[in-house]
Structure 1
C-alpha cells in the first residue's frame, strides 16, 4: 500500500501554544500521525493552522513564509489591539538521537526527554512595525539555528482552493515537484524526456501545414524588421525541450470513463487529484530525516459523504512516519469517519471569545470506551463536536419533540448552538465519558427516564424512585454535566402536565391511529391525568416516532397553551445559560 511518509522521521508535532495571536490563548493538542481539528465556525481552526505556518518552515522555500501582520495581534473585534506582544510555540515529541543532534538548540528538557520546541515572539511597535524573534527550546536568548528550524517543514492546502489553477502548467505546478523528486539531476529519465520532446518537435515541424505556417510567420516578421541587426529566428514547437519546462507543461487529467481536462470536471474530484499530487510529492521528497507536516483546511470540500469517508479511511491507513497530517474540518460526516483519538475539538463555550481545545486521546478513556465511541459516532452524533452545548436523549421521540417544546418556551436551539443527540436507547456512557473536568468544555444535559417503581411513586409526597442505571447517571453530574429524569417516559410525563396536553396529544394521535383514538377519547372522558397518561402511553408505544412527528407539527401550529414538564424546561434553560462572559479576545477569522 502507498504510504504518505515512511522516510524515517520519528519526531512529530504534539501541541501548539499561543498567547496574543488573534483569538488563540492557551494550549492546543495535536495528534500523530493524523490530527483532525474540528469545531464550530469561528472557533479558531484556521487560526491554529496559520499559527503553525508562522512558526514552521514552508516546504516551498523561505519566499513563501507566512508573515506576522499588525492585525494578527489580539484585538477586541472593533480594531482595538489588546496586546502588543504575541507568542507562538510549536512543541515536538519523540525525537530520535539524530533528530536531537540536529535540533540541539531547540531541545526542551522542561517538557521531558526527547522533546523540543520552536518559539516565535513578536512585538508590535507604536508605528505599526512588527519585530519578530526566534527562540529554541528552554533558552531565553534568540539563538535558534535555521538548520534546526528547517528540521520541520510544512506544505499547505488552503480552504476554497482552486485545484485547476494550482495544477495549471507553469513553474509552480505541483507536478513539477513530483517529477523532479522522481527524476533528480543525473537520472536517465531526464535525458529520455528531452529526447522524446525533441523527436516530437521534429515530427511536428515536418508536417506541411506547420512548415507553411512557420514560413509565412518568418517572412512577415522579416518584412517588419528586416534581415539586418534586428533579424530574429522563428520556430513552432510543442515546448522548450528543457526538463523544467517540459514537466511544468504537464496537465493533470481526471475522469470516471476517460481522463478529462480538470476544467471540465467537478470540484470534488479535482480537489482529490490535487491532494493526490501533493501527497505523492511528499512521499518522494528527499530522505533527509525532515518531518514534513501537511496542513489541509476543509479536505471534505465539494465531496459527498461516501467520498469523505473514503478520504478519511485513506488518511487513517496511510499516514505514517515522516509526514504528519493535520486537517481542519467543520463536517460531522468527516469527523464521524475518524477515530475518536485523532480528534482535537476547539470550542468557544457560550459567552467566551477565547477558544478552548481538548483532545479525547487525553481523556483517559479505555480501549473499550474508545471502541464504543467509534461504533456509536455517526454523522448525527458527531455534531456534538461542533456544538456550544449538547442534550442527550433516549430516542427519536425526544429528538423530534425537544426542538418544538423549546420553541414553545421561546428557546431556539440552532441560535444557541445546541445539538440534540439521540443515543438510541440508554447507551449514555460512551458520550458522557467525553464530558467532565479537563474534557469537552461545554455543557451536556442528559434527559432520561427514572425507570423506577411506578407504584412507589404514587405515594403522596414521595420522590420518584430511581433505577440503578438512573442512579449511575445522576452520579456523573458535575460542573458541566446535568441529568434530568422523567418519572416514567416522555409521553407519560407530557400527558400528566395538563388536560390541554392530553387533548393535543389525542389530536396528534388521531392522525396516526384514527380508530384507536376514537375509542380512547371515549374511555378517557372525565379521567384523571395519570389515567389519561397510561392510556396514551399504551396507544403510542408501537408508533412513537410517527406520533412524535405529528405532535411536534401540532406544537408549532396550534395556539393552545401546551405545558412543558419541569425536567425538560430545566434542561433547556441550563444548556442555554451563559457559562461565564469574557470581554473578549479578538474575533476569529477561522
Structure 2
C-alpha cells in the first residue's frame, strides 16, 4: 500500500474554500516524490499534516496546537488515502476499508476543534478515524502504529541521534527489528554473551579487588558473623545493552554530512521490516549537511530503491541540483498554496519533452522550481542585460523572486510547458515570460536587393517556361523575404530532372538576373505582413496567453538591433567602437560612416557587430555595467524607448509591474 493522496482543510496556510472544498489536495507517486517550491510555500505543512495523522516510527510527541489552525478557523481536517493494498493488508484493515469497484482504499481522517472548556481555557479536541466518508470509525492505536511513517526532520543532529544514552535512536531502531524482539534467539544470544563476559570479568577482579578488601570486611564483623564480598552481574535488559551502543563510520570526528547519511540509513532500516502497512519515509530538506556530489548519490539511490523495494519516499528540498538530477515526473511543485504534479498527462509536455529535459535540465535551469516567476531567454546577452534593466526601471528581479533561465537555444516550448496544465480547470497561472527574437532582417538590410516581395503572374509564367513547366499559382501567393529564398522555392517547385536540356546552374543564374530586373510586387505592406505572421506563429508555438505564459519579441530582428534602434544607441556604438578600435581617429571615422537615418544606422551598426565578430556577451556585459552605474538616467531612457518596450513588458509581467521606489 502507498499514500495516494492528502487533503487539508484549514490546516495552517491551507484554508478550506467557501464551498467547503479542501484548501490543498495533493497526489503522490507510489515511489519517489520530491516536493519543491519557494521558501514559505507550505512544504513543511504538508509533511507535518502526514506526521500528525499517521504518527512516526520514532514515537515523537506530535500534537495539534492552535497555530495549526488556519486564520479565523476553529476546526481543521486532514485526510490521508492509501491505495494498492495487498490481500493481507485488506484483511488487516478490513473494518476501516472504503470499497470501490474492483478495489479498496484506506481513508484515515484527523479532525480537530478549538473550543473553550468550563474554565474558559482554550482546548483542542482531536480524533483520528478511518473508513468511508460519513461512516468513519475510531482507529485503534495498534492499527495506527502500523501506518506510522519514518520521519527525518530538517537541521537534524545526526551525531547526537547516533550517540549512546537513554534516548539512543540506534537502540530504538535495533530493538524494533524482528531479530531483536524479546525472546528471540538473537536477543538470548546477546544476553548470554554479556553474562559470560561478566563472569570472566568477575574472575579477573577477584584477586586484585575482593581478596584485598576481605581483611577489612573481617574486621568490621564478628567472628561468628563472617561476610564475603562478591561482585554480581546486574541483569541488563536488551534495551539497556543497546543504549550503550554508538554508531559511526569508523572514523574519528565524523563530519555532519557523513553522519547524516549514516543516520538516514539507520532510520530507513525499519521500513524494510514492514509486512503490513505503508513503507513511507518523510525527509525534510534531504540535502541538509550533504555536499553536492553526495546529494546526487543519495537521490539516485532513493530513485532506484523506490522502483525495486516498494518504498515510498516523500522529500522536501530547496536544492536545484537535486531537482535537476531526478526524473521530472517525481517532482511536485507547491505554488500559490496548491500542489502541481509534474507527471506525464498533468502538464502540456509531450513524452519526448520529458526525455529531453531528463538530459538537459541542469542545476542552473532547475532554479525555476524555486522561483515566483520565470524569464526564459535564448542567450547570454539577454541573461546579462535583463537584471540591469530591471534594476533601472525599479523592478529588481531578486526582490520579486524572479529567475532568469538561459536556455542557450530556442527550446522554449519544452521548458515553459512545465508550467502549463492539461486540465484547464486546475490552471497553475505561473508567470512565465519568453523573450526571443523575431529574427527578420529589416528592409534596410537588403539595400538594392529585392526583399519582401511577391511574384506577379506574368513573371511566374515566364519563370515556368524556363523549366518547361506549367505555372504554379501558389508561387504568386507567397511573400519571399529575399532573392535566395525565392530562387530556392522556384527551383524546388519547377525543376524536373526527367526533362532533358535544363542546366540547373545556368537557369538559376538567368533567373537571378531576370527577377532583379523585373517589376516585382514589393509593397512595404508585405514586410509588415511578414512581421505579423512571424509574430503570430511564434506566439502560437510558445503558448502565448495560455494561463500566465506570455511571449515577448524583439522587432523586427534581434536584441542588439533593438538596442541600436533605441535611445541607448549611442552607448552601444561607443562599446562597439571601443571593442574594435584603439585609436580615436578610427572610432570617429567609423562613427561618421554610419547613416544619419536612424533605421538605416541601426542596421549598419548591428551589421558592424556581426562582420567584426564582436562578442555579444562582452557588449551586453559592458552595457549592463553602464546601466547600473547610471541607473536613474538609464531607467528613464529605457522606459521611453519603443524598441525596448518588449523587455520592459516582460519584466512587468513576471513581477506584477509594481515599481519599487526604494
TM norm structure 2: 0.73
Question: Are the equivalent residues in 2 in contact too, given 1:496–1:533 (CA < 8 A)?
Answer: no
SS in 1 for 2:80: strand
Question: Are the equivalent residues in 2 in contact too, given 1:340–1:360 (CA < 8 A)?
Answer: yes
Matched residues in 1 for 2:231 and 2:580: separation? 84
1:484 is aligned to: 552
User: What is the Cα deviation at residue 518 of structure 1?
Assistant: 7.6
**Which of 56, 59, 63 lines up with 1:58 in the alignment?**
56
Structure 2 residue ranges without an equivalent (≥5): 15-22, 444-451, 453-480, 482-522
Change (3 A) 1:174 1:450: same
Render the CA deviation track for 1:280-303: whole Å, top value 9, x for unaligned. Answer: 2322x253x221311111110111
Question: Are the equivalent residues in 2 in contact too, given 1:390–1:445 (CA < 8 A)?
Answer: yes
Matched residues in 2 for 1:236 and 1:523: separation? 102
2:168 is aligned to: 173
Structure 1 residue 369 corresponds to structure 2 residue 437: no
Matched residues in 2 for 1:309 and 1:365: separation? 25
Change (3 A) 1:133 1:364: farther
Question: Are the equivalent residues in 1 in contact too, given 2:543–2:550 (CA < 8 A)?
Answer: no
Matched residues in 2 for 1:197 and 1:517: separation? 91
Bigger CA drift: 409-418 or 127-136?
127-136
1:547 is aligned to: 619
**Which of 245, 251, 260 lines up with 2:251 in the alignment?**
260
**Which of 283, 302, 323 lines up with 1:315 in the alignment?**
302
Matched residues in 2 for 1:93 and 1:485: separation? 48
Change (3 A) 1:196 1:149: closer
Change (3 A) 1:155 1:546: same
Change (3 A) 1:300 1:475: closer
Question: Are the equivalent residues in 2 in contact too, given 1:451–1:470 (CA < 8 A)?
Answer: no
Q: How does 1:462-541 map to 2 (within 5 A)?
A: 462=528, 464-465=531-532, 466=534, 470-473=538-541, 475-487=543-555, 488-498=557-567, 501-509=568-576, 512-515=579-582, 519=586, 522-525=589-592, 527=595, 528=598, 529-538=601-610
The structure showing larger relative contact order (alpha-carbon pairs under 8 Å, at least 6 residues apart) is 1
Structure 1 residue 114 corresponds to structure 2 residue 109: no
Change (3 A) 1:193 1:523: same
User: What is the Cα deviation at residue 211 of structure 1?
Assistant: 7.1
Question: Are the equivalent residues in 1 in contact too, given 2:96–2:131 (CA < 8 A)?
Answer: yes
SS in 1 for 2:165: coil
Change (3 A) 1:517 1:474: farther
SS in 2 for 1:27: strand
Structure 1 residue 337 corresponds to structure 2 residue 328: no
Matched residues in 2 for 1:222 and 1:310: separation? 67
Matched residues in 1 for 2:216 and 2:172: separation? 40
Structure 1 residue 83 corresponds to structure 2 residue 73: yes
Q: How does 1:276-425 map to 2 (within 5 A)?
A: 276-283=265-272, 285-287=273-275, 289-319=276-306, 320-348=308-336, 355-361=337-343, 362-363=346-347, 365-425=349-409
Matched residues in 2 for 1:517 and 1:107: separation? 86
Matched residues in 1 for 2:215 and 2:379: separation? 83
2:186 is aligned to: 189
Render the CA deviation track for 1:494-548: whole Å, top value 9, x for unaligned. Answer: 12112xx223224444665445998565323353342354245416755222332
Aligned length: 540
Change (3 A) 1:446 1:373: same
Change (3 A) 1:574 1:476: closer
Matched residues in 2 for 1:242 and 1:531: separation? 88
2:469 is aligned to: none
1:132 is aligned to: 126
SS in 2 for 1:114: strand
Matched residues in 2 for 1:364 and 1:295: separation? 29
Matched residues in 1 for 2:551 and 2:216: separation? 88
Bigger CA drift: 143-152 or 478-487?
143-152
2:9 is aligned to: 19
Render the CA deviation track for 1:289-334: whole Å, top value 9, x for unaligned. Answer: 2213111111101112111111110110112454311111111111
TM norm structure 1: 0.82
Change (3 A) 1:497 1:517: farther
User: What is the Cα deviation at residue 96 of structure 1?
Assistant: 3.2
**Which of 55, 70, 74 lines up with 2:70 in the alignment?**
74
Question: Are the equivalent residues in 2 in contact too, given 1:118–1:149 (CA < 8 A)?
Answer: no
Question: Are the equivalent residues in 2 in contact too, given 1:106–1:148 (CA < 8 A)?
Answer: no
**Greater helix fraction, Structure 1 or Structure 2:** 2
Change (3 A) 1:249 1:384: same
Matched residues in 1 for 2:107 and 2:295: separation? 33
User: What is the Cα deviation at residue 177 of structure 1?
Assistant: 4.3
Render the CA deviation track for 1:161-218: whole Å, top value 9, x for unaligned. Answer: 100111111354332244332444444433443344345445556668x975788999
Question: Are the equivalent residues in 1 in contact too, given 2:79–2:110 (CA < 8 A)?
Answer: yes
1:576 is aligned to: 655
Question: Are the equivalent residues in 1 in contact too, given 2:576–2:614 (CA < 8 A)?
Answer: no
Bigger CA drift: 540-549 or 394-403?
540-549
Question: Are the equivalent residues in 1 in contact too, given 2:561–2:603 (CA < 8 A)?
Answer: no
**Which of 432, 436, 448 lines up with 2:436 in the alignment?**
448
Matched residues in 2 for 1:236 and 1:521: separation? 103
User: What is the Cα deviation at residue 447 of structure 1?
Assistant: 0.5
User: What is the Cα deviation at residue 449 of structure 1?
Assistant: 1.0
User: What is the Cα deviation at residue 105 of structure 1?
Assistant: 4.2
Question: Are the equivalent residues in 2 in contact too, given 1:508–1:554 (CA < 8 A)?
Answer: no
Structure 1 residue ranges without an equivalent (≥5): 1-10, 76-81, 349-354, 580-590
Change (3 A) 1:365 1:140: same
User: What is the Cα deviation at residue 47 of structure 1?
Assistant: 0.6
User: What is the Cα deviation at residue 578 of structure 1?
Assistant: 7.8
